[in-house]
Amino acid sequence: MIGGVSATQLAAEFGTPLFVIDEADFFGRATAWRDALQGAFGDRAGTVYYAGKSFLCKEITRWLDVVGIGLDVCTGGELAVAKAANFPMSRVEMHGNNKSESEIRSAIEAGVATIVIDSFMEIDRVGAIAKELGKTQRVFLRLTPGVEAHTHEFISTAHEDVKFGFSIASGAAWKAIAEVSSCESLELAGFHSHIGSQIFNSEGFAAAAQKLIALLAQYRDEYKKELPELDLGGGYGIAYLPDQETLVPATVLTELAAVVKAQCAAHGLAVPMISIEPGRAIVGPTTTTLYTVGTTKDVTLDDGAIRRYVSVDGGMSDNIRPALYDAEYHAIIANRSSDAPTVNTRVVGKHCESGDIVIRAIDLAADCGPGDLLAIPATGAYGRSMASNYNHIPRPAVVAVIDGKARLIVRRESHEDLLALDI
Ligand SMILES: Cc1ncc(COP(=O)(O)O)c(C=O)c1O
């Protein structure tokens, strides 16, 4: 059951593969992040910008508006979703390391609250387009604080070999501050950093915040005024497997607030408004993918052991994360219970790639076979949003469930949809 609707009923009504989003869970998580930011930072709480890249459609945008949080978009396409849903542009932040001139123009024309500038060329571009449109655009500078976050640990590095942002250590950030400050059509509102994803403690965020606050103090000393906002990005970790635990918003933000407040006090700075950009932590756990099993096959491994391949009706086209990041998932047989003994199983998709793996190794009931439904939890983030049409497979539908009712929020693509692109 998801949101009071059975998996069997969902599969029968909407087909598989299917993304099923638990609407109440989404509201619960979005509200928890909003309230945790408020609780930790009080009147210094800025905005929770939901990272639209994790999963965005018009209905999600409507839900964000109901909760009263903001939206981080990083392309003209994501901005177009926000516009189509009449999402308030005063709560939209525009990211991207290579925004085109037309994306910058539509963002400024639409009136997005903030553009996060990522390169020197972009300072000139955003400045010129804002000037041409007769506007002063509020901007953040995306900075690389030299904190590299991995799944479970972080390491501080002096050198940052990434395509995003301006390095603090090399002096690029300081030069960017000077350039933005001398541009009349830009208003520097603060700094931004995003240190990575699937982070399970507050230390990496705190280390980044310390570097940014030190730079705020340097800014105050040089420019004799203080910047109003810090955006500390997203990346809060969630559980994908039964033995993992999703970060608790209030815990991580309270720890972060203690460091931010202490650092600001040490530098004699007022605490700026603190904003964050969780994507996965809001939408990831809310969604389950339902697949139908098509075939099974046993192969004998070098050591004589048997591995069972269970093939489902989707795969890397609706979840590229295992192939891209070795991401791990769990599966549950969702149409019945089984007392059968388990067998070492690899759940794979239907694409023409050996790497088309949904779950590399799982003990699954030996009687799992054609027609069974497999439910894969925690597929809400970077699943549908990274989906492709590889092998001309139409992308799955997204269904929202709440209080025993299911409704389509993104329809399934059809072969006609795909053929419609051919000239
Ligand atoms: C700038 C920025 N903010 C926020 C996020 C969201 O990260 P997550 O979904 O892990 O919270 C990302 C993810 O790539 C990002 O690049």
CATH number assigned to the domain with residue range 285-411, chosen from the 4 options 2.40.30.10, 3.30.470.20, 2.40.37.10, 3.30.70.920: 2.40.37.10
Q: What is d(CA 247, CA 238) in angstroms, rounded to the nearest whole number? A: 6
Neighbours of 414 (CB within 10 A): 10
The predicted-structure confidence for 67-111, as pLDDT tens digits, reads as follows 999 999 999 999 999 999 999 999 999 999 999 999 999 999 999
Name the residue at shortest CA distance from atom 4 of ligand 1.
234
Kindly report the number of other CB atoms within 10 A of residue 245's CB atom: 9
| Relative orientation angle of helices 120-132 and 172-181, to the nearest 10 degrees | 10
Indicate the class that CATH gives domain 23-278.
alpha beta
CA of 52 to the centre of ligand 1 (A): 9
Q: What is the pLDDT of residue 162?
A: 84
Average pLDDT over residues 223-245: 97
* pLDDT at site 47: 98
* Angle, in degrees to the nearest 10, between helices 23-41 and 58-67: 40
CA–centroid distance, residue 33 to ligand 1 (Å): 15
pLDDT for 172 equals 96
**pTM score, two decimals?**
0.96
Pick the atom of ligand 1 nearest to 142's CA: 1
Span 366-376, average pLDDT? 98
Cα 229 to middle of ligand 1, angstroms: 18
Mutation test residue for ligand 1: of 69, 144, 194, the one with most atoms within 8 Å of CB: 194
Which residue do the tokens 């250590």 mark?
169
Same CATH fold assignment for domains 23-278 and 285-411: no
Spell out the domain ranges in the chain. 23-278, 285-411
Whether the per-residue pLDDT at 152 is higher than 60: the answer is: no
- Say yes or no: CB of residue 381 within 6 Å of ligand 1: yes
336 CA to middle of ligand 1, Å?
37
Q: In testing the pocket of ligand 1, which one of 29, 50, 53 has its CB within 8 Å of the most ligand atoms?
A: 53
φ/ψ of residue 35, rounded to 5: -70, -35
Counting ligand 1 atoms within 8 A of each CB, the residue from 164, 191, 197 with the most, and so the one to mutate, is 197
Report the pLDDT value the prediction gives residue 154, as an integer from 0 to 100.
Answer: 47
Residue 269, classified by CB atoms within 10 Å of its CB into exposed (0-12), middle (13-18) or buried (19+), is middle
Distance of alpha carbon 342 from alpha carbon 418, whole angstroms:
39
Catalytic residue list contains 264: no
d(CA 318, CA 265): 47
Distance in Å, CA 334 to ligand 1 centroid: 31
> What DSSP line would sit under 30-79, residue for residue?
HHHHHHHHHHHHGGGEEEEEEETTTS--HHHHHHHHHHT-EEEE-SHHHH
The amino acid sitting at 147 is: V
CB 321 near ligand 1, within 6 Å: no
**Closest C-alpha to ligand 1, atom 1:** 194
Going along 334-388, which residue ranges are E strands?
342-348, 357-365, 373-377
Confidence category of residue 157, pLDDT binned at 50, 70, 90:
low
Mean pLDDT of the chain: 96
**What are the backbone dihedrals phi and psi of residue 416, each rounded to the nearest 5 degrees, phi first?**
-65, -40
Average pLDDT over residues 367-392: 98
pLDDT at 110: 98
Ligand 1 pocket residue status of 383, Cβ below 6 Å: no
Asked whether residue 277 carries a pLDDT value surpassing 80, the answer given is yes
**DSSP helix/strand/coil, 182:** coil
Does ligand 1 come within 6 angstroms of the Cβ of 51?
yes
